Amino acid sequence: MHFLSSDGFSSPRGDLDLGRRVAAARAALERRLSARVNPDGAVRDAPQSRVFESALMLRLLRLEEVYPEAQARIVRYLETERRAKQLGLFDAALVRAVLAAPADPPELKELDSCFSGSGHFATRRKRMMFRAVVALMSGARFDGEFREADFIPRDEYQLWVRLEVIALKILYATHLDRREWIKKEDVAVLTEALRKGTSRKQTVLRQLLILFALRSIPEQERAVRLGVERLVALQGRDGGFPFILGMEIFCTATAGLALASAGRDRNRSTLASIADYLAGQQQPDGGWAYAEGVDQTDVDDTSYCLELLSSMGAQRYAEPSARAAAYLLAIQRQDGGFPSFARGADSEIAMTAGAMMALASAALAPAEILHRGADYILERQKSDGTFERSWSLSETSEIYRAMVAMRRLQVEPASALSARIDGAVNRSRRYLERAQNEDGGWGHVPGTASDVISTSYALIALSHIGGRVALERGLLHLVSHQQAHGGFVSVPDQVGPRPIPYDVPVLADIFALLALNHGLAALARSS
């Protein structure tokens, strides 16, 4: 069995004052997060508006010449964002396109470096989408490098990506005068998606792309008007539009894990309502989606839900836990890794680590399955101790999940796998120590400003792999940024479409509480 490395935790030099400060911060945050649990057991928080969708919506409303009041509210939102924030290259280009006089579109090479340089998987598809958005917003010519074959949906695409690819094909076909690409069944699929009113099942961005595509097709005016009407109803109080409408299942599962590790006995009734809620949201295939009303299940949410349900120790959750484990085992690829959505897609580090953590905690997978997952992760660790980022902007996110997954494995102490894990642990610990900022926190990547969520990820990892000095400094940084109400505020790290960030504010509280829990446990072990 692999236990906590003693490296960095071998001497009882714990700071009692630090322990008291962390415990007090944890208690206040625990009370705040527990109060966020609704009577039905769900944790709900509205995703914040985003420049991306808001600028596109303004462009669409202007083209359709409808809803002038909604247009004015979007303008005010975008102007506020431009004044209050240092916008990135892409957001700044969108804001210029809709708020200023027409200007030259941004250099495509610069945009490509923003979106393909992150190493995310669907690079060519992402390039098609982002370049189409630039063309729609700026009046630039659509890129002629893409061919009809680029727009054939792959089997491993989830439904909303299939719709996105079809919408992009229609947009490129229309603007490049290649109408022969457009098939009747393509139009039918998009109009059916709008007819069903799939605002919960589709991201706001993809609904916008569908509407831009359909407005270029004759006799689709009614469908477009209906779609625009439904989107306008989603306008936020700040005048902007979000990427998604909710993330209840993800937030509830992670909040449940945070409250359980803070004090299972204190939060017993709250945890029971959380577990009942999650069990009721499980879908026929055994998995979970990220939000209510979303059909597409995924490995990430299923892993968090399984980990929470299996931790309850109640027979009533044995059946949903077994179904969740079967879902995860069926999606594991030959390379030992786990993809986000479908077995045919590329495996990802965070998904693999999350599935391993859940399956190991639930004791519902043979050791061989978990060791294959470990092999996948270990083979893909970079020499500096990091991993490819996936659905997060933070380097520390993948590190925390990979390291906790390694520590939950049952491994013979003198085995080759044990030695490989020790090497990986040492590399990641050295990275975290090097990447720590002078203020004690961590940013998305080295050299960026510290933020609460990235710092929380790093602290969870250090609590399991050693690095006492970095852990203490990080805990001091985190508690010093607690708000008067007991909660935390952070820049977002979640991305979609990758690598564009979106913000669900409650996640700062959830991951900060997890970090304080793990940090306190590590301090106690070393005292």
Active site residues: 300
Q: Do 276 and 283 touch, CB atoms closer than 8 A?
A: no
DSSP-based three-state secondary structure for 499: coil
DSSP-based three-state secondary structure for 394: coil
What is the distance between the alpha carbons of residues 104 and 93, in angstroms, rounded to a whole number?
A: 9
DSSP-based three-state secondary structure for 237: coil
- Give, rounded to a whole angstrom, the gap between the first and last alpha carbons of the chain: 22
Report the DSSP beta bridge partners of residue 241.
50
The beta-carbon contacts of 67-71 under 8 Å, at least 24 apart in sequence, are 67/228, 67/232, 70/232, 70/235
DSSP 3-state percent helix, strand, coil across the chain (nearest 5): 60, 5, 40
Residue whose C-alpha is closest to residue 152's, from 137, 172, 136: 172
CB under 8 Å to 257, separation ≥6 — which residues? 304, 307, 308, 311, 514
CB under 8 Å to 226, separation ≥6 — which residues? 194, 195
Beta 49-50 vs 241-242: how paired, if at all? antiparallel
What is the distance between the alpha carbons of residues 168 and 391, in angstroms, rounded to a whole number?
A: 23
What is the distance between the alpha carbons of residues 156 and 264, in angstroms, rounded to a whole number?
A: 39
Could you give phi then psi for residue 242, rounded to 5 degrees?
-90, 175
